[in-house]
Amino acid sequence: MSSSPHNAREPQRQPPGRALLIVISAPSGAGKTTLCDRLLAEFEAMDYSVSCTTRPPRPGEKDGEDYHFLTEAEFKARIARGAFLEHAVVHGHRYGTLAETVAAALNAGRDVLMDIDVQGARQIRERARAADAADPIRLGFVDVFVAPPSLQALEARLVKRAQDSDAVIRGRLRNAEQELRGRPEYQYGIVNDDLETAYAQLRAIVIAEHCRIA
Ligand code: ADP
Ligand code: 5GP
Task: Give the amino acid at 186.
Answer: Y
pLDDT at 171: 87
Q: What CA–CA distance (Å, rounded) separates 82 from 79? A: 5
Residue with the smallest CA separation from ligand 2 atom 11 is 116
Residue 87 φ/ψ, nearest 5 degrees: -155, 155
**28 in ligand 1 pocket by Cβ < 6 Å?**
yes
C-alpha 6 – ligand 2 centre gap (Å): 36
Output the pTM of the full model: 0.91
- With a 6 Å cutoff on the Cβ, whether 26 touches ligand 1 is yes
Closest-CA residue, ligand 1 atom 12, reads 157
Give start and end residues of each alpha helix (H) in the chain.
32-42, 72-80, 99-107, 118-130, 136-140, 151-161, 166-180, 195-211
- Asked if 122 and 178 touch (Cβ cutoff 8 Å), the reply is no
Dmax (CA) for the chain in angstroms is 59
201 lines ligand 1 (CB under 6 A): no
* DSSP category for residue 133: T
Report how far ligand 1's centroid is from the alpha carbon of 139 (Å): 30
Show me where the domains of the chain are located: 14-211
The per-residue pLDDT for 158 is 87
Q: What is the tens place of the pLDDT at every residue in 78-92?
A: 999 999 999 999 989
CB-based contacts of 140: which residues, under 8 Å, 6+ apart? Answer: 18, 19, 20, 21, 106, 111, 112
Q: With cut-offs at 50, 70 and 90, classify the pLDDT of residue 8.
A: low
Residue 112 φ/ψ, nearest 5 degrees = -120, 130
Pairing of strands 93-98, 51-53: antiparallel
- For 46-79, letters b (16+ CB in 10 Å) and e give bbbbbbbbbeeeeeeeeeeebbbbbeeeebeebe
The stretch 142-147 carries a mean pLDDT of 98
Span 91-103, average pLDDT: 95
Q: Report pLDDT digits (tens) over 63-83.
A: 999 999 999 999 999 999 999
pLDDT (0 to 100) of residue 2: 44
Q: Quick check: CB of 25 below 6 Å from ligand 1?
A: no
User: What is the pLDDT of the chain when averaged over all its residues?
Assistant: 91
**What separation in Å is there between the alpha carbon of 95 and the centre of ligand 2?**
6
Taking the C-alpha atoms of residue 63 and residue 47, their distance in angstroms, rounded to an integer, is 17
Atom of ligand 1 nearest to the CA of 115: 2
d(CA 164, CA 88): 21
pLDDT at 6 over 70: no
Q: What's the pLDDT score for residue 3?
A: 44
**Atom 15 of ligand 2: nearest residue by CA position:** 116
Say how many C-beta atoms besides its own lie within 10 A of residue 6's C-beta. Answer: 7
Where does ligand 2 bind, in terms of residues with CB under 6 Å? 25, 28, 51, 55, 86, 88, 90-91, 95-97, 115-117, 119-120
Does 14-211 carry CATH code 3.40.50.300? yes
In the chain, % of residues over pLDDT 70 = 92
3-state secondary structure at position 41:
helix
Assess whether the C-beta atom of 175 lies below 6 angstroms from ligand 1: no
Ligand 1: centre distance to CA 146 (Å):
11
